[in-house]
Amino acid sequence: MIVICLALLNQGSLLSEISSNNILLTLGAKLEFGLSFDQHQDYVKHFDRIDTDRDGQHSTLEFVENGFYLNPQARRGIFRASDENGDGFVSKAEYVLNRALTDEAKSILLGMDDNQNGEISRSEFQVHTSSKLADSLSTDVFDEFDTNDNGSLIVPEFLRVWGAWARKDQKSAIARLDALREQELDIYWAEVSRSVNAGDFEGYAATCHAEGVLVSGTSDTSYPLTRALARWKQGFLDTKSGAMKASVEFRFSKRIGDATTAHELGIFRYEAVKDGASKVSLIHFEALLMKKTHGWQILMENQKSVALEEEWLALASEN
């Protein structure tokens, strides 16, 4: 959690000194990075249910006029908040991001409602933020959220300010969700590297889909990943026992996908050291991956062709 420095306490209004994004993080926000797999899937299902013409976006007719929850005025406000580029339509990414931001904001706000009356008083807000914000900053933040100046916060006014702060100086919804996917995939590839380096065969096998396929462009063959795993197992055992050392590193030239699928292209560098001799393989590869509740797994690995050292080095500046 980001902690706002108490040394700023006597500098007047602190809001101009601290980014709105940092304030939200201090209040406990994770923004899109707190979006779980199940939540994401649920939001996509809701989006598809409203997208009656199946064109991949919500119109005001679909969302506001023909909507089926809350009331038209509330739906219109949600639509405006979601339509971040102002083109009169709400894309799937815009819808998902808005749901992620607002649902988290509601949870944080209602967690301060100690007397369960549907409103958060100034004293309730300060009690719940005293360990996170300096007193004067807590006052300033409350005043910003309290748009009708009545000394208490309700969900709609809170969300208006929270949503604006959560988007201020940030990239588009699609760029933010792409960054979220890439962060998850970076963790996935780091686990692949770790398991190879440690000789952890079970850990490596867990990164592979049970019905995965290995394609070898160099030998014009394809076969189940389970067969490849059986062939590679001894190398893992030798690495784990110390009979050899192994390492693998990945660099990417193109990364595309959505919430549950990914197509990654790049080069991997595999090195095996045994009996004092080192063998390095540089391979152009592409990978198809799927995300389920338990995380990402590779569905198809295509080891396309041998790569050159210059190509490997050229990707260093892009990763």
The residues spanned by each domain of the chain are: 6-170, 175-316
Tell me the three state secondary structure of residue 244: coil
Grade residue 69 by pLDDT with cuts at 50, 70 and 90: confident
Dump pLDDT digits (tens) for 211-251. Answer: 999 999 888 999 999 999 999 999 999 999 999 999 999 99
User: Looking at the predicted structure, is the pLDDT value of residue 99 above 90?
Assistant: yes
Decide if pLDDT at 16 tops 70: no
What pLDDT is attached to residue 315? 95
- In one-letter notation, the amino acid at residue 239 is T
Nearest to 178 by CA among 254, 265, 292, 255: 255
pLDDT score of 144 more than 70: yes
Q: How far apart are CA 35 and CA 44, in angstroms?
A: 12
CATH number of the 6-170 domain: 1.10.238.10
Span 63-67, mean pLDDT? 95
Fold match flag (6-170 vs 175-316) = no
How is residue 212 written in tokens? 């995965």
Whether pLDDT at 256 is above 50: yes
Q: What is the DSSP letter of 216?
A: E
The CATH code belonging to domain 175-316 is: 3.10.450.50
Residue 272 has a pLDDT of 97
Q: Sorting pLDDT into bands at 50, 70 and 90, what band is 10? A: very low
CA distance 171 to 19: 15
The confidence score (pLDDT) of residue 129 equals: 93
- The reported pTM is 0.86
Q: H or E segment at 15?
A: none
Pairing, β 208-216 against β 295-306: parallel
- What is the average per-residue pLDDT within 108-113? 96
Longest CA–CA separation in the chain, Å = 76
Average pLDDT over residues 195-223: 96
The confidence band for 19, taking pLDDT boundaries of 50, 70 and 90, is confident
Place of tokens 């994401």: 40
